[in-house]
């Protein structure tokens, strides 16, 4: 062992020198920041230094691409042609029926995924929080879909919903029910359930409902984990006091647990809406990179404009409009839902 340490010692010398230089740099920086604080500059220099790495990454990988996309949206032509068209791409998008259809598909998807996932995840998390046996195993099983590759899981779901030899249609056949096209069905699910009384173009299509069902299953693991974390930090003395005052389980849930979980619900609602508007993997994998117009959300519509048709300026304009929609909805959520959040 001694000869090994003797052989490794010269190799470790550069690392020790680098660590010593780093310590000296940190000591110098701390001295300068402390001097700025004594001169009345406050803590903002320290905050700026600590935030600098994150700000650089944000500027390089988020702000610059965002600015380049907005700049590209003012130019027309195919494959990045530099013909300045001003707001023409935005005008064309707002008047394009395909864009309107993609917006409708995206709205149907958001309204179908976010509320259902939040409610289902809370119910599962609440049940997992209450049980005593097998808690760790069940938590792992519910979280497993979230850590599974969305594309790999979507391929399995696509085989289950295959119109000819899928497992779902096979089970329906055993029950005497006619097979359905599922992901390839353009008619609305309300039209199918009402047996034709509701027009086929109203409501989400059956294919979109399959995508919604997949994403509820796939994304619920994350929300379950967050809800469990929120439930674990609720002070138990508040629940005990409510029980002493005669509150039953339902009143305890409605008047104590949910108000104290309002920050968690608010956070998951914000994140869920943003992620739902940016959904791509499930749509791409389940619909063969686009499928029908009834399963083409805004992200797939932007993807088609860029990589299938080569209209980079128009695609950038649609992407900018999507960004503005997300920002506007986030601000509305902050103003409306943020007032109802109870911070203990």
Mean pLDDT, rounded, for 290-310: 86
Lowest mean pLDDT among 3-12, 235-244, 251-260, 313-322: 3-12
Q: What is the pLDDT at residue 173?
A: 85
Does residue 299 have a pLDDT over 90?
A: yes
The token duo for 285 is 């994998």
- The per-residue pLDDT for range 33-43, each reduced to its tens digit, is 676 666 665 66
Q: What is the pLDDT at residue 37?
A: 65
Q: What is the pLDDT at residue 283?
A: 92
The token duo for 167 is 């497992």
CA dist., res. 219 & res. 281, Å (int): 12
- The per-residue pLDDT for range 31-88, each reduced to its tens digit, is 766 766 666 656 666 677 778 888 888 888 888 988 988 999 898 877 666 788 889 9
CA dist., res. 122 & res. 73, Å (int): 41
Largest Cα–Cα separation, the chain: 87
Residue 124: partners with Cβ closer than 8 Å, 6 or more residues away: 142, 220, 224
Going by the DSSP 8-state scheme, the letter that residue 1 receives in this structure is -
**Is 96 in contact with 293 (CB distance < 8 Å)?**
no
Euclidean distance between the first and final Cα of the chain, in Å?
57
Does residue 255 have a pLDDT over 90?
A: no
**Is 300 in contact with 284 (CB distance < 8 Å)?**
yes
Nearest CA to 142 out of 131, 259, 232 is that of 131
- The per-residue pLDDT for range 110-149, each reduced to its tens digit, is 999 999 999 999 999 999 988 878 778 888 888 888 888 8
- The per-residue pLDDT for range 218-248, each reduced to its tens digit, is 999 999 999 999 888 888 887 788 787 777 7
Q: What is the pLDDT at residue 36?
A: 65
- The per-residue pLDDT for range 262-291, each reduced to its tens digit, is 899 999 999 999 999 999 999 998 987 666
Residue 32: partners with Cβ closer than 8 Å, 6 or more residues away: none
Residue 118: partners with Cβ closer than 8 Å, 6 or more residues away: 223, 265, 268, 269, 272
> What ranges in 78-149 are assigned the alpha helix state H?
88-94, 97-130, 135-147
Q: What is the pLDDT at residue 166?
A: 85
Domains of the chain from N-terminus onward = 93-140+212-340 (1.10.3720.10)
DSSP string, 188-211: BHHHHHTTTSS-TTSS-BHHHHHH
Could you give the 3-state DSSP secondary structure of residue 290? coil
CA dist., res. 330 & res. 7, Å (int): 59
pLDDT confidence band for 8 (50 / 70 / 90): low
Residue 226: partners with Cβ closer than 8 Å, 6 or more residues away: 264, 267, 268
Does residue 2 have a pLDDT over 60?
A: no
**Is 229 in contact with 305 (CB distance < 8 Å)?**
no
Q: What is the pLDDT at residue 90?
A: 94
CA dihedral 150, 154, 156, 157 (to 10 degrees): 130
pLDDT confidence band for 97 (50 / 70 / 90): very high
Whole-number mean pLDDT of the chain? 84
């Amino acid at each position: 062992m001694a000869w090994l340490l003797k052989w490794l010692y010269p190799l470790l010398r550069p690392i020790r020198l680098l660590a010593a230089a780093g310590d000296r740099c940190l000591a110098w920086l701390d001295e300068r920041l402390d001097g700025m604080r004594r001169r009345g500059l406050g803590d903002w220099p320290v905050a700026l230094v600590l935030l600098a790495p994150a700000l650089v990454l944000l500027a390089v990988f988020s702000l610059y691409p965002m600015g380049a996309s907005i700049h590209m949206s003012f130019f027309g032509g195919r494959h990045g042609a530099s013909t300045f068209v001003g707001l023409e791409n935005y005008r064309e998008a707002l008047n394009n029926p395909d864009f309107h259809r993609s917006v409708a598909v995206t709205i149907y998807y958001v309204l179908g995924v976010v509320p259902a996932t939040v409610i289902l995840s809370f119910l599962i998390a609440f049940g997992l929080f209450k049980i005593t046996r097998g808690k760790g195993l069940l938590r792992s099983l519910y979280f497993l879909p979230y850590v599974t590759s969305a594309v790999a899981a979507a391929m399995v779901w696509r085989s289950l919903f295959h119109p000819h030899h899928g497992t779902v249609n096979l089970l329906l056949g055993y029950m005497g029910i006619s097979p359905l096209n599922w992901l390839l069905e353009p008619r609305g699910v309300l039209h199918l359930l009402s047996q034709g009384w509701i027009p086929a173009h109203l409501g989400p299509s059956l294919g979109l409902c399959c995508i919604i069902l997949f994403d509820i299953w796939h994304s619920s693991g994350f929300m379950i984990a967050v809800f469990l974390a929120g439930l674990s930090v609720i002070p138990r003395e508040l629940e005990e006091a409510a029980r002493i005052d005669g509150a039953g389980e339902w009143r305890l849930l409605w008047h104590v647990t949910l108000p104290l979980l309002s920050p968690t619900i608010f956070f998951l609602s914000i994140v869920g809406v943003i992620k739902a508007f940016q959904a791509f993997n499930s749509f791409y994998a389940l619909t063969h990179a686009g499928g029908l117009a009834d399963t083409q959300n805004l992200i797939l519509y932007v993807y088609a404009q860029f990589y299938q048709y080569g209209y980079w300026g128009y695609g950038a304009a649609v992407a900018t409009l999507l960004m503005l929609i997300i920002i506007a909805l986030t601000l509305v959520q902050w103003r409306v839902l943020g007032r109802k959040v109870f911070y203990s």
